[in-house]
Amino acid sequence: MSFVLERLRELLQLFFPETCEVCGKALRYGEHLLCTDCLLDIPQIYLHNKERNPVEKMFAGQVQFERATAFFNYQKHNNYAHLIHKLKYQGRDDIGIWLGEMFGVKLQDSGFLDGIDAIVPIPLHPKRQRKRGYNQSQMIAEGIANITKTPIITDAVIRKIYTNTQTRKNKEERAENVQGIFEVIDNKVLENKHILILDDVITTGATCVSCAETILQNSNVKYVSFASIALAN
């Protein structure tokens, strides 16, 4: 039966080929979402075991944290930005899981996750999550967990205030827009844990800082670290 299904899949691929999410070329057998060339060209930044890296410098002086990292550089008009756009606005939750799995390999191999007890994806407001159908940061977290088996905590922190998009705001406006928007609703699940706050894209870090401040002020969490798939330039 599996042989028949495999032949059927090959026929479907022949007549209705999947295309690369970055360059649009037809994928070859064994490729998934990205062609091999685009996969090799992902603008990774290899910060996972480097102290005082650009992500850590962004958060320095804003909030108490242990370490921070990101997977690749995000530039608005770069083709790889399309992956994030499809994840957030076109219902492609599979891209989040796939990116998370790749990120998870790097985090595990570098030792970045050593000592981290759980991942806390940045919460979406319920209204936005209903509209989107899922939380994109949680999809990334699920991908990381598929590789590393790191637990995910989604019911300890909520986004209690609906905010407008951060896209067109400057640094000061972004910080003001996310001030006080989170709430800890279950302190016990965070108690004495080193948590990794995970976002999809870090631009100024304002959302992560606001979430971390809320957690640090309203729970007995041990440590906070940060990670994101993309670091915006």
Report pLDDT for 166. Answer: 58
Task: Label residues 172-204 b or e (16+ Cβ within 10 Å = b).
Answer: eebbebbeebbebeeeebbeebbbbbbbbbbbb
Q: What's the pLDDT tens digit per position in 15-27?
A: 567 899 999 999 9
CB 143 within 8 A of CB 135: no
Rg for the chain (alpha carbons), in Å? 19
Q: What's the pLDDT tens digit per position in 115-162?
A: 999 999 999 999 999 999 999 999 999 999 999 999 999 999 999 998
C-alpha pair distances (Å), 121 with each of 76, 114, 125, 198, 216? 23, 18, 12, 5, 16
Would you tell me which CATH number, out of the four given (3.40.109.10, 3.40.50.2020, 3.40.50.880, 3.30.70.270), belongs to the domain 44-232?
A: 3.40.50.2020
Statement: residue 169 has pLDDT above 70 = no
DSSP 8-class letter at 173: H
- Closest C-alpha among 142, 109, 114, 137 to residue 125: 137
Q: Tell me the pLDDT band of 35, cut-offs 50, 70 and 90.
A: very high
* Separation between Cα atoms, residue 178 and residue 211, nearest integer Å: 9
Q: What's the pLDDT tens digit per position in 40-63?
A: 999 999 887 787 899 999 999 999
Boundaries of every domain in the chain: 1-41, 44-232
Tokens in use for 82? 């399309």
